[in-house]
Structure 1
Amino acid sequence: MSVYQRANGKWVYDFQLSGRRFCGTTDATSRRAAEREEGRLKAQAEQDLKAAKDLTEGPMTVGAAIARFWDEVGQHYGGTYGKTLDTALDWLLAELGPTTRLRDIGPSKVAEVIAKRRGMEVVTKTTRRKLTNATVNRTVTEPLRRILIRAADMWEQPGLKKIDWSEHLLPEPKERVRELRDHEEAKTFDRMRDDYRPAIAFALVSGFRLAEVANLRWADVDWTAQTIAVIGKGEKAATIPLTSEMRAILAGLRGHHDEFVFTYVCRRGEPGVRVKGRRYPITYEGLKSAWRRHGARAAGVKDFRFHDLRHTTATRLMRERGNIKIVSRVLRHEDIATTSKYAHVHDDDVREAMEAVSAARKPVRKATGTDEGQP
């Protein structure tokens, strides 16, 4: 033991373990008490050093895997998805336990954490509901699958159990593509607040996501090259052409703010924070609130979300040009298979195509609907 008393009467401990020095003051009033305190601290230090060694040299633990996954993958995601992933990893860490070894996680444990997450609820001021299958897949099954596969394939961790992930993914309803019809568009824009209307109009013609609209800055708009720069999912940078309709929307917003494109007029001032009647940049949450209060639902348009504006952009492009690569380029999809869901048609489209075929061909049957001699 190496304890000593300073001139001020405080007892100090000072020892070394594995080349590291541990020292500090104690609350002891005698040498014997100081030696007991040092013994306790030394035992704790030995335990901590062993745990740290196990993390780096022994079988990989959940804590080490999640930390490494975040450093290599998770931290590079931005926006809502990045926050969702961060929260999901924290939940997995607490449920699985930071010292649990990856090789001890098998199908039974995976099923257990999925079942627990599935039983949780989302509680708001007005509603109480169970988490959807999509949320459980996105916040439990997918992150855990990616970590374990990465541990086996890239981190070369031996002895990991075989897991059939298709057995653990919960069924999700097929994503529908909802298009805003012309009469619904008119109703929606009539109901929308004047200061938020340009942001909604821009989303409809550009295919931008809600966060991308709220974050658009004048520095992103290149009037000369006629392009707009956008940072999308996963902090991926891209550009899309600046159309005449987009230019018309943006031109009317010049001078409202030096940095941000879309702004709103403050209706209720807040001393020292906001001034009534002055314009301020639209925020992500602010745009969400405006859409909820004054958007499609408020206008009587059923089953139409903000993200469906993006769907509408894609569907209209597909109908106009029939070129899925153009749609994929505008939506900035890395995999064109993601865009294929927009290659659908409505009854009106089918009817128009059938009418065109009928008009182009010489009729081989009588207009009455039956051939001579046939029933």
Structure 2
Amino acid sequence: MTRSHGRRRAGGMSKLFVLIVLIALAAGAYWAYDRYTGFADAPLTGIEQGDTLMVEPGDALPTVIARLRESGVDVGHRLEWQALARQLGAANKIQVGEYALTPDMTPRALLVALRDGKVLNRRFTIVEGWNMRELRAALARNKDLQHETGALSDVELMAKLGHAGQHPEGRFLPETYLFVRGDSDLDILRRAHAAMAKALDAAWEDRAQDNVLATKDEALVLASIVEKETGVADERPQIAGVFARRLKLGMRLETDPTVIYGMGSAYAGNIRRSDLLADTPYNTYKRAGLPPTPIAMPGVDALRAAVNPAGGDTLFFMAVGDGSGRHVFSRTYTEHQAAWRAYMTRYRARQQKAQ
């Protein structure tokens, strides 16, 4: 009896010990899981709005974690990152690029971004009406682009783009281009040139059958003039119509933006009578027809207007002068002179009010 009782007692103690061990293991597992999930989905501390992370070619996860730590981010334990990366399938799939960091970003969100290559897209906008000089200056000011064209002349630049002998003016489509850190100014120009070629082809294919223009290049030249003459979208076909009728009649275009372009850096904000009398290839007051090249970068709307000008019989236009940017269109020179006098009356009134 005594030995049997002892055996039962020893067996009970053994079961209790096993139960305690199991409870301890379960508690440990729960603690580990809770810590793991807390790490994975808790925002990383030390990140400020606007911070970025750069992943270079050859970087592995430990290198990325070290870079975060060096920048002041509390990254926790390396083993937690490795476990989470394995779970997400990101351990060996980190992609090169620049990544945006946000104060609410969690390790899980960051690893998913690194795995999927959700790199930070930056933007560069070519503004409608810019000329080549303004475009190159804007590219040079952009600190996020690699600069490969600064020492190149316009002639050398076009050769570098694969279009040797082509005048660069007007050949780059105004729009916003996305790029990533490491892209160059040459990359932007290459894309913008291809976009303009595509847009010009599309506009030319859709041109009016009775269009006065003989080639796509002439369409680009006229579109650039239309672009510089007005920023009011619904006026572009009307202005293109005036120029198209003038070309058909053999009249000079007599448009100030071409004169200004021909003056180059000598233009100081106003056109003098001597400028209008100067015989240059871009002075459409002195020479008939279109100037030899575009004078700016036209947008898609200006391209469409140039090849599909509005009908009518107007041959002149004059700024209204009320700050709207709109124009008054006239059929005869007498009407145009009346519009000019009205403009000058409004101009003098504004001058007197400003004094």
Please say whether Structure 1 and Structure 2 have the same fold, judged by a TM-score greater than 0.5.
Answer: no
Q: TM-score range by the shorter chain?
A: under 0.3
Q: Which has the larger radius of gyration?
A: 2
Which structure has the higher relative contact order (CA within 8 Å, separation 6+)?
2
What TM-score do the two structures reach when normalised by structure 2?
0.23
What TM-score do the two structures reach when normalised by structure 1?
0.22
